[in-house]
Structure formats: C-alpha cells, structure tokens
Structure 1
Amino acid sequence: MSNQQKLTGLRPFYVMEITGHAAQIEASGRTVMHMESGEPGAPPAPRVREAVAAALDQPQKYTHSAGQIELRRALVDYYKAQHGVAVDPGSLMVTMGSSSGFILAFLAAFGRGAKIAVTRPGYPAYLNTLDGLGMEAVEIPVSAEAGWRLTASDIEAAYAREKFDGLLFASPANPTGAAVTREGLKEIVEVCARLGVRFISDEIYHGLDYRGPSVSALEFTRDAIVINSFSKYYCMTGWRIGWMVLPEDIFQRAYMLQQNLFIAAPTLSQIAGRVALGERDYSEEQKAQYAVNRHALAEGLAQFGLATASEGDGAFYAYVDFSRYTNDSLGFCLNMLDEVGVAATPGIDFDRLNGNRFVRFSYAGTRATIDEGLNRIESFLKRR
C-alpha cells in the first residue's frame, strides 16, 4: 500500500473511541484517569452559569442565523481589546462550535475536489471533514526537530510538489501544542497571498499560549477565514459554540449554508458565550493550572526516559514519542487503558503515516489526574 493510500479515506476519530471504551471501564466500577481529550476540567465561569440559569424561563427560539447581534458586538470588542483590530459585526458568524465552522469554510470558499493543505501531525477532523465533503487534503509534514512548527518555506516547498487551493493552519496546534511566532504567522499569511492560496486560521486554542499573547491572522490580513471557539479557553466544550470571521467575498455564501445546514447556533450557548467573553480572569486562572500541569507532565514523562516530551508552546497537550516502548500506538493506548486505567490518544489519530510511534496526553484536567496518571503510567511501563 502506498503512502498516499494510507493517508486518504474516512477513518475513526480514535480519541472518541478511547473515551467510549473508558466509559465502559468506569461503568464496571473502575476509575480512569482521563488524559485523552482536550476537555478542561473546570466548568464555565460562575457568571456564565448564572446567566444561562436566568435565561431558562424564557423561550429559547432560533436566533439570527449569523448569531445574536449582542454576541457579535461583544466579539467586535474582543478583537479590539485582544488584537487591536476593528472587525465589522457583519463579517462575524456564530457557529455550532468550530466543527461547523470548518464545514462552512470549506463549502463557502472551495468547490468539490479542491485541495486543502494541512499539517501532519494535525487534528484528525480536518482530514475526515474534507473527505466527507469530497475535497482532498494535502499534508505538509512538520517535525519534532523543528519544534513541530510550520514555516513559510515548508508551504512553498509543498506547493511546488503539489499545488493546493487552501491552507488550514492552527497555532497553537493540536496535538503538539506548537505555536508560531508573530513573525512566523506573518510570513505564512504572506506566502499564502503570494501563491494565491486561501488561508484558514484555526485559532481555537487562542488564549492558551504560554510564551505571550496569541496572535490572530486578522492582524495581518482581512482575506483570511478565521475560526475560533469557546470550547477550550472558556471551558465550554459541550456547549458547542464558536464563531468565524469571514472575508466579504464568501460571507453571503457561508450565511446561506448556515441557514440551511444549521439554522443557528444554540441560543443558550450564545448567551453563555457573550458572558464568557467578559470572564477572562476566570479563564486565566484555569490557564495557570494548565501551566502547572504542563510542567508536571513533562517532568514526569522525562523520568520514564521520554526525553522528547517537551512542554510545547500552547494548548494543553504533550505529543510524545513512545517508540522505545511500542510501534503500535493504538494497541498501546488500549492496553494502558485496560490494564491501569489511563486514557490517552494514539498518535495515529493525528498522523496516519508515523503516528504509530506517538501518544498524545492532555493536561487540561486536574493536577490530581496528572499525578495519579503518571503513577499508573509508570506501573504500566515497568511491565514492558
């Protein structure tokens, strides 16, 4: 089988399968240390929950398909405060999480059969969504030696090998936590413009940079499609609420698709999101805990001889080379879950070619989960 055959086609979302298997184990009475999903361990801020509770007595009708104007205006304020850019509320669209944002972006900006470049390793839903929409992913490999960071020269080299219509890029990234510098992002935006490649900036881990403020593509261009979400920084994964900033030339098409595919994002979640934008102090408290977990996890894994377990630049993941223990990351993760009750994500979710050697751990949970998880991982590895 060729490498290209290995990389194409719809595949399971393995992290969800691990989570499902963990639920079965917990139903039997055993405990599981959940280090597989990018799920913050804390609930949304107290004021968010209070606002939603107060709204429960009111009819929850559909909102405007682009989202409540109050939320969109709050997002305008967000971009002014966080990025120093003026965004027209008419360019904003509230979505059912970033997932529907990807679907709308692909369908609005590209035709069937379009080629969209993504990094490898990368978020598995990129590949599966593109496959489901009849589009093709062109993977650009990034390496541990380069800090898993994409560069403008990587893009140029990939484009020379195989032309593509768009580039979807996340900084900070899942699964590696890699984030490019401000200058690096500017160069990526510029090379895409020079090549005539539509740039889609996945900014859902913004706020979770540990080196400094997150940088938005909107600081360099208004031609990019920007996708963001309340899931990670605002601790609202299950609320399924996100947003997009769209260039003028595709907004109307995206809006019509939203009307017909999703109607509108959930009303209660829009109320929650509007309040969450004003509760950044609470989110920063959670981020401080992730920073503690980040160091503890990297330090603990290094004691097992996993020197490649770097702390990463952002998000809340460690992408770790386990090749000294396994060449089958899925089997390894399933055995670790069954034997010691630690749930982690196999690298094949993120890299269908070389992910068999890697495991991703999330440190978005509590410190107690990290500490107990490390104890159990040590016990598991000693048996190897």
Structure 2
Amino acid sequence: MAMKVAKRGNIPPFIVMDVMRAANEREAAGGDVLHLEVGQPGTGAPAAVLEAVRAALSADRMGYTDAFGLPALRAGIAAHYADRYGVAVDPGRVVVCTGSSGAFVLAFLAAFEAGDRVALASPGYPAYRNILRALDVEAIEVPVGPETNFQPTPGLLEKIEGRLDGLIVASPSNPTGTMIGRDGLKAIVDYCAGRGVRLISDEIYHGITYGEPAETALAFSGQAVVVNSFSKYYSMTGWRLGWMVVPGELLRPVECLAQNLFISPPTVSQYAALAALGCRAELDGHVARYASNRELLLRELPKAGFARMASADGAFYLYADVAHLTNDSSAFCARMLAETGVAATPGIDFDPDRGNRYVRFSFAGRTEDMAEAARRLIAWRT
C-alpha cells in the first residue's frame, strides 16, 4: 500500500541549485566552468575569523548556546546597528539564526497563519514564495519593472485586491540588485503601519552597494522584522549563520519555535561571527572587487547582446532582459553552459510569469573569471 506524502514538499525547486549541480557535473566530467550562477562570494571568511575559530575550538566544547545565540554576539549585532546606521537596537530583540533561511522560517511561522496573504515583488528571491507555500500562506506576487526600479511601492500595493497580512521587501534585491531609497522605504513602512501589514525587510546584501548606502527599516519602525546574514557581505555562506531583529510581541513565539526547530544556532559559527563583525576593512575590500566586476560586465556584456539590465545598485547581480534572444531562459542558460562553459541562472527562478525572458549573472567571483566570461559570451554571440 502506497504511503502518504505531505503536500508541503510539493513546491518548486530552487533552480539556481539545479544550475549549480549541472555546472558541477560538467566540471566533474573534465569541462571548465565559469560560475556566474550562484550568489556566493568568491572569497572565504576573513583571516581573523579563522584565527578566532581555532582559538574557540581549543577553549570551548561547542555545546548548545541559548536558542537566540551567544549574548556577546547579540550585543555585537546590536552595536552594528548603532555604528552603521545610527539606530539603537536592544540586544534582547536580536535573534541569531541558522542562516537567513532559518530566520525566514521562524519569522513566517511566528507572524503569519495558514491562509494569510503576503505580498512580495516579482522578480524576487524564490525561497520567499516557496517557504510561504509550504506553510500554507498565500504569496501575492507584485509584478515590478524598470518603472519602479524593480521594487514595490505603496501605489502598486494599493492595486492588490483583498486583504494583505504581510509584505516582504529586499533592498538590495536578489536578483536585480536594485534598492529602495530612504524616502521610498519610509513610505512602505508607513503604508504597512497604517494598515496592520507585517513588514519583513530582507537586508542580507547590506554593505554591498555602489552608490548610496542601504537604509534599514529599523530606522523607521520597531514593528518590522529585519533579516540579515553573515553569508554575503561577511563572505561566510557555508557557516550558515544569520540574524533577525524582531518586535517585542514576536520574541517569545520566535524563541519557542527556535527551541523546537533548531535548538540553537551553530556554536562554532557564532564564534566566527563575533570576529567577523570587526573585519570591515577586509570585507570592504571584497566590495571594491565586486564594484570592479560590475563595471567590467556592464561595459562588456552589451557587446554580447545583454544590454537591457536592472540598475544593480547593490548586491552582486545583473538581471538582463534577453527577450530579443530567447523566450525560454532555462533552455538558453543550458545551451550557454554547454557551448561556452559560462553558468548563469534563468529568470524563471525569480519570476514564474515573466522570467522566461530574463537571465541573472552573479559577479561575486574573481575579476579574471568575469573578464573571461565576458570574452566567451561576446565570441558566442558574434
């Protein structure tokens, strides 16, 4: 007799991971690959992080910490907000999590009931809608484009029919790299506050910007849930550590969920993160490299036919309109990998309705790889 399989797992895959697997299979078979598909820094953790971890491994048995993390790390994260944004944050509101992925699971479970309706920009990070779907929360796609810098606005939100229980924003955004300016973010915060809409602000690409610095939603509201991570700016993807700042009414629900789902965040990664908070000089050097990569690709990719791109104000992505080249971005990316060795992510991962005509390039890797990828793509398209 066949056993039941829960419908929660019946969600779309995270396509970028499938692309990365295909790229790795090509490498394993002896082919070369230039990895522009995955949003992962090409550098490892800062040197001081590795030293701190070696010391911690010698001195600590690496047992469980509190469910919300090491008190020293929570205090360090709170100090980060005062230092970088001039915003006072109570360390008691800081929740250290198993990556930003764990933060989203905890935030969505604590803030939304099954059947609630949560808006998010499309294109946007696919895990938002897929996690919501697994939790029986309805994801309301808000189509955005160049006219709003690929970001939601109160005007677009007003067009949504029916009630709205939550809104997820990301600035800088994945996959577009676009940002919401200070006035625009305040307008969104005010819109949500006036209508009882729970705002989730994804700020994991803060620190990686190419003009104006990113603004935190905490500058305007104590009711927003802010999510950040040590993966991107801090160059620590595999350490699986992130954090949230949550309003008081969600603290105990989040704590109970965290205790039962995760026990505590990884202890060794928390010691690593404590050291990472003091490595801004080295990390800003990585951002300078991303800026060079961005400039190179913005100059060279139009020569290969990739001329229409989102503004890429931050993060390390270029989101290119390829409608003049294909109506099937998945097949296009597969052919590009097979014929050039350049791996990129089809836009269908980020926008189920219009992503068939977009491709995302990540420029988080080595500058030499960016230059070689551009050379190959120009040769491929000419």
Q: Which range, TM-score by smaller chain?
A: over 0.9
Runs of at least 5 residues in structure 1 that lack an aligned partner in the other structure: 1-8
| Counterpart Cα distance in 2 of 1:309 and 1:379 | 20
Equivalent of residue 148 in structure 1, options 144, 147, 150? 150
C-alpha displacement of 1:29: 1.3
Q: Show the counterpart of 1:26.
A: 27
What one-letter code is carried by the residue in structure 2 that aligns with 1:199? L
Q: Show the counterpart of 2:373.
A: 373
| Counterpart Cα distance in 1 of 2:361 and 2:309 | 10
What one-letter code is carried by the residue in structure 1 that aligns with 2:322? F
User: Is 1:177 matched with 2:203?
Assistant: no
**Distance verdict in 2 for CA 1:311–1:299, change over 3 Å:** farther
Runs of at least 5 residues in structure 2 that lack an aligned partner in the other structure: 1-9
C-alpha displacement of 1:163: 2.0
Q: Residue 116 of structure 1 contacts residue 164 of structure 1 at CA under 8 Å; is this kept in 2?
A: yes
Q: Residue 39 of structure 1 contacts residue 232 of structure 1 at CA under 8 Å; is this kept in 2?
A: yes
- Relative to the length of structure 1, the TM-score reads 0.95
Q: Show the counterpart of 2:266.
A: 266
| Counterpart Cα distance in 2 of 1:181 and 1:379 | 38
C-alpha displacement of 1:310: 4.5
Q: Residue 301 of structure 1 contacts residue 309 of structure 1 at CA under 8 Å; is this kept in 2?
A: no
Q: Show the counterpart of 1:106.
A: 108
- Relative to the length of structure 2, the TM-score reads 0.95
Equivalent of residue 78 in structure 2, options 70, 76, 79? 76
1:108-147 pair list within 5 angstroms: 108-147=110-149
Q: Show the counterpart of 2:332.
A: 332
What is the root-mean-square deviation of aligned Cα atoms in Å? 1.1
Q: Deviations over 1:82-130 (max 9, x none)?
A: 1111111111110011001000001001111111110000000011101
User: Is 1:90 matched with 2:92?
Assistant: yes
C-alpha displacement of 1:38: 0.8
What one-letter code is carried by the residue in structure 2 that aligns with 1:85? V
| Counterpart Cα distance in 2 of 1:310 and 1:214 | 17
Q: Show the counterpart of 1:6.
A: none
More divergent stretch after superposition (199-208 vs 143-152): 143-152
C-alpha displacement of 1:144: 2.1
Segments of 4+ moved more than 6 angstroms: none
Q: Deviations over 1:277-312 (max 9, x none)?
A: 111111110001100101111111111233213551
Q: Residue 304 of structure 2 contacts residue 379 of structure 2 at CA under 8 Å; is this kept in 1?
A: no
Q: Residue 118 of structure 2 contacts residue 166 of structure 2 at CA under 8 Å; is this kept in 1?
A: yes
Q: Deviations over 1:14-40 (max 9, x none)?
A: 100000011111011111000001100
1:148-167 pair list within 5 angstroms: 148-158=150-160, 161-167=161-167
| Counterpart Cα distance in 2 of 1:207 and 1:368 | 23
1:1-384 pair list within 5 angstroms: 10-57=11-58, 58-158=60-160, 161-382=161-382
Q: Residue 168 of structure 1 contacts residue 199 of structure 1 at CA under 8 Å; is this kept in 2?
A: yes
| Counterpart Cα distance in 2 of 1:33 and 1:12 | 23
